[in-house]
Amino acid sequence: MEELTDNEFKKMTLKNAVLYENRSELVKFSLKVIGEEDEIIRAFISVDEQACGGIPIGVKDNMHVKGFKTTCASKMLKGYVAPFDATVVRKLRENKFSVVGKTNLDEFAMGASTEYSVYGITRNPHNLERVAGGSSGGSAAAVASGEVIAALGSDTGGSIRQPASFCGVVGFKPTYGLVSRYGLVAFASSLDQIGPITKTVEDSAILMNIIAGKDEMDPTTVERNIDFTGFIGSQLPKMKIAVAKQSFGEGVEDGVKERMREFVKLVENLGHEVTMIDIDELKYSVATYYVIAPSEAGTNLSRFDGVKYGLRIPSDSLRDAYERTRGEGFGDEVKRRILIGTFTLSAAYYDAYFEKAQRVRRKLSNRLSEIFEEYDFIITPTSPTVAFKVGSVSDPLVYYMMDIFTIPANLAGLPAISIPFGEVGNLPVGVQIMGPRFSDAKILGFGDFIEKQLR
C-alpha cells in the first residue's frame, strides 16, 4: 500500500476512509494532526490519545461517549464522566468509527461563535483572528483543519450549519425526529437535532445512513427508511427553487449577496427554475426562537442543581447550595437564557410571550409548508455574514440576529444543509438549501450536484 502523507490525510473524505484498509493508521494521523494544529485551533476539549482502530471522528462535547468527559464547555459539568454512549455514538462504534476527541462548543450549545466556552475560543482554520462559528465551532474547525475525517454537531437554531458555513465545510441538519438525541445534553428539546459536519455533501449522506433511525430511547424519533445517499451522483430533474428575497436584504453583507447572485445564476444555468419570493414571516423568526429556546433551556437546565450532576458547592441550606452552584457554575450567556426563559414561562407573562411565540412558530411553519407545496427548496445564505473577528460582537441582539436564516428550519422541524460556495475576502461563504420534512435525501442529492459543479 502507498504511504499516506499528512496532506492526503487532511483532505481525505469519509467516502475514501471507508474504503481505506489500514484504519488504525488513520487514527494515528488524526492524533498527529491534532497534536500539531490544536494548540492554536483549539477545536478539541479532550482528546483520546489511546484511540485506535477506526475512522477518526470528532463528537461535540454535549453528546455522551462512555468513559469520556461530557463538559458542554461549562464549569457546571467540568469533570463529569458519561456513564453511557449516546445512540449516535453507539452507531458510530458499530460502524467502525473511532471517537478521537470531544469538540469545543459554546457553553451548553448557546451561541454562534464558540467564544462562550470555558475551555477557550476555537479559531477559524481559514483565519486565526476569526471565530469558527458556533455552537458546533469545534466540530467544524476540526473537519476544516483536517484533524478528523468528519464530526458530529447539534443544531438548535443553526449550530451545525453556521459554523460549517464559517469554516468552509458541509453541515447538515436533518428533519426533526430522524436522528436520536438519546445521550445529547438537551438545550431546547423541540428544536435540537444531531447531524453531520463533513468535507463533502456525499460524506454527510454517508454519515446520515449510519446515525439516523428510530430509537426507543428517544420517543421523538420516527420510523422512516431513507437512503440518504439515494440521490448522490444523480442528476435531479428540473427543480422549482424559491430564493428568499430577504437573502438580499438589510443586514446581509455585500459579498454574501454577491455569492448568492452567482449561486442563483448557476442553478438557473443548470436548468432549474428559480423564483424570488418574499418570506415576510422571516422577520419574526429570531424573536420567536429567542422566546421558545430559552423557555425550553431554562426547564432543561434546571437539572443542574448541584445535587445530581457535576459541580456542587455545598452550603448549610439547600436553597443556598442551589444558588451558589448555579451562580458559579453557569456563564453569563447561559444565565441570560435561563432568566429570559423563567420570565417568559412565568404565570404573568406566559400568554404574552411563550404562548404568542408558539402561535408565531405555527404561522411560520404553515407559511413554509405553503411554499413547499409549490417549490422543492428554499435558498438563502446560511449566515448574513462571513466569520467575524474574535471579540468583535458583544451586543446579544446583534449576535442573535445573525441566526435569521438558520432558525426557521428548527422552528418548523425541516431539513437544511449548508454548502460552501465561494469566499469573501478569503473567508468561506455558505449557501443554505432547505426543503420540506423528509426531503433530506433530495436536499443532499441537490447539494452534491451543485458541489460537483464547483470542482
Q: Which residues are catalytic?
A: 60, 135, 159
When binding is defined by CB under 6 A, the residue of 71, 104, 135, 221 that contacts ligand GLN is 135
369: CB partners within 8 A, 6+ apart: 412, 436
- Judge whether 84 and 90 are in contact, CB under 8 Å: no
Based on CB atoms, which residue is closest to ligand GLN, 384 or 445? 384
Based on CB atoms, which residue is closest to ligand GLN, 140 or 293? 293
By CB under 6 A, tell whether 157 contacts ligand GLN: yes
Torsional sign, CA 283, 285, 286, 290: positive
When binding is defined by CB under 6 A, the residue of 56, 58, 101, 111 that contacts ligand GLN is 111
CB of 192 to ligand GLN, least distance (A): 7
Helices and strands, counts by H and E, the chain: 15, 13
Residue matched to cell numbers 462504534: 93
Residues in 389-408 that interact with ligand GLN by CB under 6 A: 403
Judged by CB under 6 A, the stretch of 26-34, 151-159, 203-211, 236-244 that binds ligand GLN is 151-159
When binding is defined by CB under 6 A, the residue of 47, 112, 152, 211 that contacts ligand GLN is 112
Residues in 314-343 that interact with ligand GLN by CB under 6 A: none
Judged by CB under 6 A, the stretch of 150-158, 203-211, 255-263, 441-449 that binds ligand GLN is 150-158
Q: Which three cell numbers stand for residue 335?
A: 444565565
Nearest to 422, CA basis, from 251, 256, 274: 256
When binding is defined by CB under 6 A, the residue of 82, 110, 149, 241 that contacts ligand GLN is 110
Based on CB atoms, which residue is closest to ligand GLN, 99 or 110? 110
When binding is defined by CB under 6 A, the residue of 114, 145, 156, 193 that contacts ligand GLN is 156
By CB under 6 A, tell whether 293 contacts ligand GLN: yes
Based on CB atoms, which residue is closest to ligand GLN, 12 or 109? 109
When binding is defined by CB under 6 A, the residue of 38, 155, 215, 296 that contacts ligand GLN is 155
26-55 footprint of ligand GLN as x/- string (CB under 6 A): ------------------------------
Sheet (strand 44-47) strand order:
44-47, 97-103, 55-60, 150-155, 193-198, 170-173, 416-424, 427-434, 377-381, 240-244, 273-277
168: region left, alpha or beta (phi > 0 left; psi from -120 to 50 alpha): left
CB of 114 to ligand GLN, least distance (A): 11
Query: For ligand GLN, how many residues bind (rule: CB under 6 A)?
Result: 13
Based on CB atoms, which residue is closest to ligand GLN, 56 or 331? 331
271: CB partners within 8 A, 6+ apart: 238
Torsional sign, CA 75, 76, 79, 82: negative
Q: Which three cell numbers stand for residue 223?
A: 420510523
Based on CB atoms, which residue is closest to ligand GLN, 56 or 137? 137
Judged by CB under 6 A, the stretch of 157-165, 176-184, 254-262, 436-444 that binds ligand GLN is 157-165
Based on CB atoms, which residue is closest to ligand GLN, 171 or 447? 171
CB of 361 to ligand GLN, least distance (A): 15
CB of 374 to ligand GLN, least distance (A): 28
Judged by CB under 6 A, the stretch of 53-61, 79-87, 109-117, 273-281 that binds ligand GLN is 109-117
CB of 369 to ligand GLN, least distance (A): 22
CA–CA gap between residue 109 and residue 157 (Å, rounded):
10
CA–CA gap between residue 165 and residue 137 (Å, rounded):
10
Burial label, 188 (beta-carbon count in 10 A; 0-12, 13-18, 19+): buried
Nearest to 249, CA basis, from 273, 277, 286: 277
Based on CB atoms, which residue is closest to ligand GLN, 246 or 325? 246
Burial label, 46 (beta-carbon count in 10 A; 0-12, 13-18, 19+): middle
By Cβ distance, which residue is nearest to ligand GLN?
159
Enter the DSSP assignment of 25.
H
Helix, strand, coil percent content, the chain, rounded in steps of 5: 40, 20, 40
By CB under 6 A, tell whether 430 contacts ligand GLN: no
| CA dist 332 → 115, 231, 335 (Å) | 12, 44, 5
Based on CB atoms, which residue is closest to ligand GLN, 139 or 145? 139
Residues in 178-237 that interact with ligand GLN by CB under 6 A: 187
DSSP string for residues in 130-155: EE--SSSHHHHHHHHTTSSSEEEEEE
Positions touching ligand GLN (CB under 6 A) are 109-112, 135, 155-159, 187, 293, 403
